[in-house]
Amino acid sequence: MYPIVAARGLTRQVLGPAGPLIILSDVNLEIEAGEAVAIQGPSGSGKSTLLGQLAGLDTPTSGSVHLLGQNLSNLDEDGKAEIRAGKVGFVFQMFHLISGFTALENVELALELAGQKNSRLTAVHMLESVGLRERMNHLPIQLSGGEQQRVAVARAFAIKPKVLFADEPTGNLDSDTGKLIANMLFAMRREYKSTLVLVTHDAVLASRCDRILTMESGRLQAV
């Protein structure tokens, strides 16, 4: 029986102008269901790449990743997408909302992809719970950074994810808004009992997790 997220000998290498560049080197880790894990490290240490690998958003050069009990190496892109749909949520530093969709439509989209009925009702409820009742029909470009990140949080939790991947969720926000978003994130995680994998530079935010992992030059320093 695998933990909810696990990596074995995970290596990611890309070809740079000066030859091969190792971004992740032999990473091994296990995250249990319900756990909150922070990944910290200096810029370029491979934190975001590791998060992408664990979520099945990228393909490793070698090694394997197990997510929700499935070996991602055995799956094609559609297979990985199927695992994510309705079970995995994301909050990104750059928000990554669909620019042509309103806040409400962005949340609805995730629910519809998860195959949930009454997506409109759930989406409205989620946006209300992040304080965006008045902004539901606004396009992302009409929202501030903090509001966009609240939409992203609502979208991530609308599907009641088993695992939530958050990549610098407060990195683009001022400290007050960052705190607000962090509070929402942790509150909802508790409410929906989601496992959290959080990449952050923010030591205070990391300290709210159950465990902190540190990356250094593509290697995991302490587990």
Residue 157 is a binding residue for another protein (CB under 8 A): no
Least Å from the CB of residue 120 to another protein? 8
Of these, 23, 65, 108, 147, which contacts another protein (CB under 8 A)? 108
Those residues with Cβ within 8 angstroms of residue 82's Cβ, 6 or more apart along the chain or in another chain:
none
CA–CA separation, 59 and 52 (whole Å): 9
Query: Going by DSSP bridges, is the β-strand pair 195-199/163-167 parallel, antiparallel, or unpaired?
Result: parallel
Residue 118 is a binding residue for another protein (CB under 8 A): no
The structure tokens listed for 14 are 């890309």
- Helix (H, G, I), strand (E, B), or coil: what is residue 13? strand
- Residue 53 near residue 60 (C-beta atoms within 8 A): yes
CA–CA separation, 158 and 82 (whole Å): 17
Of these, 32, 82, 128, 174, which contacts another protein (CB under 8 A)? 82
- Residue 167 near residue 127 (C-beta atoms within 8 A): no
Least Å from the CB of residue 147 to another protein? 15
Residue 104 is a binding residue for another protein (CB under 8 A): no
Residue 139 is a binding residue for another protein (CB under 8 A): yes
Nearer to another protein, 88 or 197 (CB): 88
Least Å from the CB of residue 146 to another protein? 15
Contact residues for another protein, defined by CB under 8 A:
48-49, 52, 55, 57-59, 77-78, 81-88, 90, 92, 94, 96-101, 105, 108-110, 112-114, 139, 155
